[in-house]
Structure 1
Amino acid sequence: MRLGFSAVVGLTAIVGAVFVATTFTTPPLDSVQRGYRGTGQIQSYQDRAYTRLTAANQAPEVIPAVDLEGEKASVGYKNLTVLGDLDKAEFDRLMMAITNWVSPDAGCNYCHNPEDMASDEVYTKVVARRMLEMVGTINTKFKSHVANTGVTCYTCHRGQPVPSYVWFTEPNLSHASGYAQAPNGQNKAAAVVGYTSLPYDIFTPFLKEANDLRVISQTALPQRDAGARKSIMQAEWTYGVMAHISDGLGVNCTYCHNTRSFTEWNQSSPQRAVAWYAIRHVRELNNTYLDPLASILPANRLGALGDAPKVNCTTCHQGVFKPLLGVSQLKDYPELATPLTIKK
């Protein structure tokens, strides 16, 4: 028996529907209520994605504690301008941990000349001192962001000499003149803003410069509010950096905001206040510790405009709302939980 054209089309549609229904299914979802009931502050997670992120955010094994030798590291070693007051055994243990966190393949030679360990000729040793000072500052000065969980070198590096997620200042691309719209720092297919037309350098305005995050003017007439003259660009920057924060922490807008009133602080979650401090924290790190390293780093470590690599939210968080899922390494390495200053 021959089937008519319409019957063939109908049978094909049925087979196609069965194929789609059995092949492309919605991943299992889970949700966590972050705010009061009725506020819509619920976080949704794909089980498959969260399993992958959980596996990627495990803290490394802790090096067992050591017995103290009763001698300061500065006595046993030369040219210790930081951590020299530690017991020599504590110092050795911490250096072993830092090696595992940052350069497990190159080992000690990543920062040291093996023929003269006290020498400062390897630039990474000079950088490492400054990074240790930065870690001490984070763990003591910025508790409004990191609380008592704190950070270690591994929080960002994850076993790599350069963290996977750093950023450089983006050059403003030019194009042919004529009727084409001036690029004005946007309309470039950039992953950081989800390949939208939003400005592609969303970090410089907030994580290096101190621009306001805002999407609306504070007054009706621009001439009465000087800041409103920049409100459209500020809004585009803000949307872009909010998308970055959402992606970097693996959350959606309702992690911090109540969608019925995004601007109202008294209807937001406590996480919004933490994010407010975090933006200022990251900005200070970039300006005080990281950007000044441009004069020390070799050319291959610098960006297109000659600037040093800087950090953003993803550098530490790497897709989860708390770096390493909230596991604190400071209880095992308390040496990093105190202020560290380079001695001249």
Structure 2
Amino acid sequence: MKQMKFRLGMALAGVAVVGIGLALTFQRPHADVVQRGFRGTGMDQVFNKQDLAVKAYANQLPAAEPAADLTGVPASQVYQNVKVLGNIDAAELTRLMTAMTTWVAPKQGCAYCHNLNNLASDELYTKVVARRMIQMVWHINSDWKTHVAGTGVTCYTCHRGQPVPAYVWFNNPGPPQALGELGNRAGQNAPTLAPGLASLPYDPFTPFLEQNNDIRVISTSALPDTDHTSIKQTEWTYSLMMHFSNSLGVNCTFCHNTRSFAQWDQSTPQRATAWYGIRMVRDLNQNVLAGLRDVLPAHRWGPLGDGPKVNCATCHQGVYKPLYGGSTLKDYQELASSTSGAVPASPDDAPAPNTPPAAPAPATQPDAPAPKP
């Protein structure tokens, strides 16, 4: 009798575990479906209404600071050591600094970057980093319109009220493993967040978003004699694609026609935008953020000693357009381009923004359903 009760208890426990797993795996079917391609191609986007409501709340735009009463005097004539914003009006500098404090360090306040007894001092590393971040924002808004268009970015796009953006990444050493060949995971087979908790390679960012490795793996002929791309290489690409999908809250058909992933003439215009986005991220990681590694204290480095880097999630944070396409830049045009004579990061060896193959617009290209707060 005791053994039967034990077995019954174990069975019920198993059913409970399975039930919890199913509950966490499947969502209630409150879905909207938006057609994104020609009829019959299956190029639909599925959006969960409950998720949209949560994301809409998280992606509200902050209120803009009231317009400043301009003094007509450049900031560089009022304040000392203003290296990147010296040409804007002194009152507008105060307005922008107030906004940046709200965007980046609302709890810490001005003291997060400044010695309050000597605002001109560069003794805090956060001030040096902030200055470089302003240059990076100029660089994105001026030189990467192919990705950010007229919407642009500000500090808030990534920070959302936090000193360190929620979505930055470091080179990933992977989980501990046994010595020898039996312990070699080949960079995968350890479910992690990057590929959506799949056992695909757990660091697709280093080869593709820090380095310039080729992402495309599909052959263009049935029996290729020169393209010997392996299944393992394909898994690395799929890991990156899972990151794209999760970062934007979309499925593959947001950019691709899945009957032929490689064909540009069957893709959506968003694929070209993503093509530029990949190169923009590489540019920022290689030519801006890498140079800040030694400015940061050691506790801000990753487990392998590298500095923080960006990927698609850093800006998008789960939605197909950061902040659902809302622009904070429109209220702070001094962040649209350099106003002080300082040159934004744009070294000669930055990845060249070449032109991707043209992708014709499908018959219908509606945006995702408008989120409801």
Q: TM class by shorter-chain length?
A: 0.7 to 0.9
Matched, 1:137 2:136: no
Give, in angstroms, the shift of residue 95 of structure 1.
0.6
CA 1:174–1:104: 2 relative to 1, 3 Å: closer
- What is the rounded CA distance, in whole Å, between the counterparts of 2:121 and 2:68 in structure 1? 27
Tell me which residue corresponds to 2:7. none
For residues 197 and 48 of structure 1, what CA distance do their matches in structure 2 show? 28
- The one-letter amino acid paired with 2:75 is A
Structure 2 counterpart of 1:319 = 318
Structure 1 segments, 4+ long, off by >4 Å, are 217-222
Q: Which residue of 1 aligns with 2:75?
A: 73
1:232 maps to 231
Q: Does 1:48 align with 2:35?
A: no
Decide whether the 8 Å contact of 2:105 with 2:112 is kept in 1. Answer: yes
Match of 2:335 in 1: 336
More helix by share: 1
Do 2:174 and 2:202's aligned partners in 1 also have CA atoms closer than 8 Å? Answer: no
**Cα shift at 1:172:** 5.1
Shift of 1:36: 2.2
Matched, 1:157 2:159: yes
Cα separation, 1, equivalents of 2:128 and 2:297? 12
Q: Distance in 2 between matches of 1:25 and 1:207?
A: 32
1:276 alignment counterpart: 275
User: Where does 1:1-344 land on structure 2 (aligned, <5 Å)?
Assistant: 26-171=28-173, 175-177=177-179, 180=182, 182-217=184-219, 220=223, 224-225=226-227, 228=228, 231-339=230-338, 342=342
Question: What is the SS of the residue equivalent to 2:329?
Answer: coil
Tell whether the 8 Å contact from 1:174 to 1:183 is kept in structure 2 after alignment: no
- 1:8 corresponding residue in structure 2: none
User: Match of 2:203, SS?
Assistant: coil
Q: Which string of whole-angstrom CA distances, capped at 9 and with x for unpartnered residues, describes residues 165-204 of structure 1? A: 0000012556324562622211222121233221111101
Q: Give the secondary-structure state (helix, strand or coil) at the position aligned to 2:303.
A: coil
Whether contact under 8 Å (1:258, 1:267) holds in the other structure is yes
Q: TM-score, normalised by structure 1?
A: 0.88
The count of corresponding residues between Structure 1 and Structure 2 is 319
Report percent identity of matched pairs: 57
Q: Amino acid of the residue matched to residue 146 of structure 1?
A: V
> Per-residue displacement from partner, 1:73-131 (whole Å, max 9, x unpaired)?
00000001101000001111011111110001111100000111000000000000100
What is the aligned partner in structure 1 of residue 350 from structure 2? none
- Separation in structure 2 between the aligned mates of residue 196 and residue 324 of structure 1, nearest angstrom: 27
Deviations 1:177-232, CA, capped at 9 Å, x for gaps: 4562622211222121233221111101110011111233457466x44xx3x543
CA–CA distance in structure 1, aligned partners of residues 307 and 179 of structure 2? 32
Q: RMSD of the TM alignment (CA)?
A: 2.1
Aligned mates of 2:251, 2:331 — CA distance in 1 = 33
Q: Counterpart of 1:328 in structure 2: which amino acid? A: S
Counterpart secondary structure, 2:331: coil
SS at match of 1:192: coil
Tell me which amino acid in the other structure corresponds to 2:102. N
Distance 1:52 1:178, change over 3 A: same
Residue 191 of structure 2 contacts residue 200 of structure 2 at CA under 8 Å; is this kept in 1?
no
1:14 alignment counterpart: none
Q: TM-score, normalised by structure 2?
A: 0.81
Q: Which amino acid aligns with 1:329?
A: T
Residue 327 of structure 1: how far off its partner (Å) = 0.7
Cα displacement string for residues 16-40 of structure 1 (whole angstroms, at most 9, x for unaligned residues): xxxx9xx998331111122222222
* Deviating more after overlay: 164-173 vs 179-188: 179-188
> What amino acid is the match of 2:211?
E
Distance in 2, Cα, partners of 1:202 & 1:193: 8
Structure number with the bigger relative contact order (C-alpha 8 A, sep ≥ 6) is: 2
Q: Is the 8 A contact 1:120 1:126 kept in 2?
A: yes
Instruction: Name the SS of the counterpart of 2:32 in structure 1.
Output: strand
